[in-house]
Amino acid sequence: MCGIVGYLGDREALEVLVDSLRRLEYRGYDSAGFASIVRSGGANDLEVRKAPGYIDAMASEMERKGARIGIGHTRWATHGVPNQVNAHPHCSCDGTIAVAHNGIIDNHTTLKDELASKGHEFRSQTDSEVIPHLIEEYYDGDLEEAVARAVERLEGSFAFLAIHRDHPDRIVCYREKSPLVLGKGAGEGFIASDVTALLSYTNSFLYMEDGETAVVKADGISVRNRDGDHVDRTWKLVDWRPEDAEKSGFKHFMIKEIHEQPRSMHQTLAGWMSDEDALPPRLVRARTIKIVSCGTSYHAGLLGKYLFERYAGIPTTVEMASEYRYADRTEEDSLVILISQSGETADTIAAAREAKRRGMFTLAVTNVLGSTISREADHTLYLRSGPEIGVAASKTFTSQVMMMYLLSSTIGHRTGHIGRDEFRKVKDGLRSAIRAVEKVLGDTEAVKAQAEWLSSAHHAFFLGRYINFPAALEASLKMKEISYIHSEGYPAGELKHGPLALLQKDTPVIALISDDHTYSKMLGNIGECAARSSPVLVVAPEGDSEVSRYTDRILRYPWIDPMFSPLAISVTMQLLAYYVADLRGCSIDKPRNLAKSVTVE
């Protein structure tokens, strides 16, 4: 959720910090701040600037004083309202130590009471402020040792950066259940919550693991584990381009990323050609599959359930990651698939650890090389979608869905559940889906027209059946995430079990339909809605003439084999949500109260 960055080198530190934090704005935040060490009158000063609101309002007023070391933070309020006092970085009583922290300190109340009894004075309502005070309590000239002693007392999920006025040559950072990545350049070091913050400065990264402490200096970066042993792990080269994290002339990141989907889908398909040869044999031996994920990834998993049962013949269930730990024990020959766009979703990581504890074989599907989930799982498949900045997922969703098609059909072919012809048909269908998406994006005027009509709604229902039921859930989520219209996604067959009571002339219904075995039943459901005076928008394939008997509001998508229709439909629905939100003047890339990477449970 929150973003943290750190820099040490020959550049103006504040320039690097401001630029890097701007690239983390997609994570969501309500206040920001910076701490740097500057030389003044022959001595070092620790300068802290922080305020509620967005970075730009504060950055323009900050004087650059030639600092070569600093840390920055964007905060998403948990403990205490978003104001200047509660914003990060937080400082020690004597003003020599500054800390920027992501996560939650579970035992902060106990620690605060203990430190207060020793004379420490706290100014904020945050849990984070205990960290610099605790470091100060243990500091005796060695910042790394003070941090090591402090983290022994902390409970919860946390990643933080610490600087000390008297040590302008180092940043000490620690990770425990919250993402932190190190970057290195010639004579400079970087730290951030996400590689996208640092792509303009380096492509060489080291992902910290739980219990690791790093000391960042200009001449090198050293990492120690929980036992104090030096960590010697390979640095990874990330091939994302800096321009991939720019708007490139688009009004918002989200619309840019929607339009990038033909390329990102192709990259997922091309990457699979090497992935499928390296699949572990254990995948083929699975007798049942459990897919665990959150939010948009959960919807991709729901679609995957239909695909694994269709192509692989394997009974599949889908669970929300936050509920997985409460479920009954999984069978030992089950495959647990964990889907997470960022690879840092706290609930999904916790589910991965629980699955491993239960003896399950775990497979991660993520977009981020070296992310936590990729290190927790037994095997990882990467989406290769490129960086996604908009909070509302778009291109990573279609890549996740493609991965479900590819994995399910490959397992099914290897077990003999489907033959070679049907196996090839899946890849051909995905190539056709990419062409269909290109056509959807090539002419958006019809979508814009329907968005004009829908933008005044207060409530909406999205309906689908079979593989388009998850597409309806995802379409509904997109609408509520960025336009703030209350919407619900339902399997169309459930209309009679409650939702019909809510239909009236000002409650639009968006029905997703394809030419499969559910077609006639969907027509019946559309008729039910129209009979109750609800305006109905039908999303239907080109060439369909039946739907016009029920409504004159129709959005067409290119005809495609119905088994692959969710891909074309989902991109159409992403556009609809985007244009509705734009007409309503909403903050599309940074929806209120939401964050791109949910790193707390």
Q: Which residues are catalytic?
A: 2, 596
Helix, strand or coil, per DSSP, at residue 312:
helix
Element (H, E) at 502: none
Closest CA to 83 of 57, 43, 53, 111: 53
Residue type at 125? Q
Helix, strand or coil, per DSSP, at residue 335:
strand
502 to 492, 553, 578: CA distances (angstroms): 14, 20, 25
Backbone φ, ψ for residue 271 (5° rounding): -65, -30
Secondary structure, 3-state, 248-280:
CCCCCHHHHHHHCHHHHHHHHHHHHHHHHHHCC
> Positive or negative CA dihedral for 325, 377, 195, 268?
negative
Between CA 429 and CA 380 the distance in angstroms is 24
Element (H, E) at 453: helix 445-454
Residue type at 36? S
Closest CA to 4 of 105, 104, 99: 99
Residues recorded for the chain? 601
Closest CA to 148 of 73, 84, 59, 211: 211
Helix, strand or coil, per DSSP, at residue 585:
coil
DSSP code, position 310: I
Closest CA to 16 of 265, 237, 189, 244: 189
Closest CA to 200 of 390, 371, 57, 15: 15
For the chain, the distance separating the N- and C-terminal CA atoms, rounded to the nearest angstrom, is 11
The DSSP bridge pattern shows strands 536-541 and 361-366 to be unpaired
